[in-house]
């Protein structure tokens, strides 16, 4: 009888250890895929209309694909595009997620915004800098249907250029 109890105990231990390993392996697999977080809610409506800042405008037509940017010299230089009005493609990105890098994502969880022409691409971080420029908040809900903050980091700290609808 003692031998049967020991065998049953060993079988139970093996089953419990095996199921624990499967849970662990699946959680590690999820981490390796490194998928960006998206709330279990419908995606927000695409940007539509004119968003304005002290350094220019971004005009979205609601197709979730094209934007007309019109940046002044200061902002154009920071983004890396020529100043003035340009029709571009845009895409919100997850930020650097190894091993795949930045991936397209819905704007309410984005960390970056990519502007593209036929031959060039420009990526800008999105977020809101602290008043003193020593820190910045990025990630969920920085970009909304009414606000798009572009975040720039430099030698003197961080600052945001906030575009409001």
Give the domain extent around 54.
48-164
114/150 Cα distance (integer angstroms): 11
For residues 29 and 52, state if they share a domain.
no
Burial (0-12, 13-18, 19+ Cβ within 10 Å), 133:
middle
> Which residues, including other chains, have CB under 8 Å from residue 129's CB and lie 6 or more apart?
135, 136, 151, 157, 158, 159, 160
For residues 3 and 84, state if they share a domain.
no
The reported pLDDT for the residue numbered 59 is: 97
Read off the tokens for 141: 């809900």
For residues 79 and 27, state if they share a domain.
no
CB 164: neighbour CB atoms within 10 A?
12
Residues 63-93 have pLDDT tens digits of: 999 999 999 999 999 898 889 999 999 999 9
The reported pLDDT for the residue numbered 39 is: 62
For residues 22 and 59, state if they share a domain.
no
For residues 52 and 123, state if they share a domain.
yes
Pairing of the two strands 66-71 and 128-129: unpaired
The reported pLDDT for the residue numbered 32 is: 43
The reported pLDDT for the residue numbered 161 is: 93
**Do 67 and 59 contact (CB within 8 A), yes or no?**
yes
Query: Is 86 a domain residue?
Result: yes
125/27 Cα distance (integer angstroms): 29
For residues 12 and 60, state if they share a domain.
no
Which residues of the chain, if any, have pLDDT below 70? 12, 14, 16-39
């Amino acid at each position: 009888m003692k031998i049967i109890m020991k065998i049953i105990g060993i079988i139970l231990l093996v089953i419990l250890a095996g199921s624990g390993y499967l849970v662990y392996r699946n959680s590690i697999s999820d981490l390796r895929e490194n998928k960006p977080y998206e709330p279990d809610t419908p995606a927000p409506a695409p940007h539509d209309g004119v968003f304005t800042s002290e350094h220019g405008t971004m005009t979205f037509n609601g197709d979730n694909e094209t934007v007309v940017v019109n940046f002044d010299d200061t902002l154009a230089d920071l983004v890396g595009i020529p100043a003035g009005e340009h029709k571009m493609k845009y895409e919100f990105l997850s930020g650097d997620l190894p091993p795949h890098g930045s991936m397209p994502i819905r704007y309410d969880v984005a960390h970056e915004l990519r502007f593209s022409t036929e031959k060039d691409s420009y990526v800008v971080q999105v977020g809101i800098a602290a008043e003193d420029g020593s820190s910045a908040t990025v990630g969920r809900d920085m970009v909304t249907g009414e606000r798009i903050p572009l975040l720039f980091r430099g030698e003197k700290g961080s600052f945001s250029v906030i575009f409001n609808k």
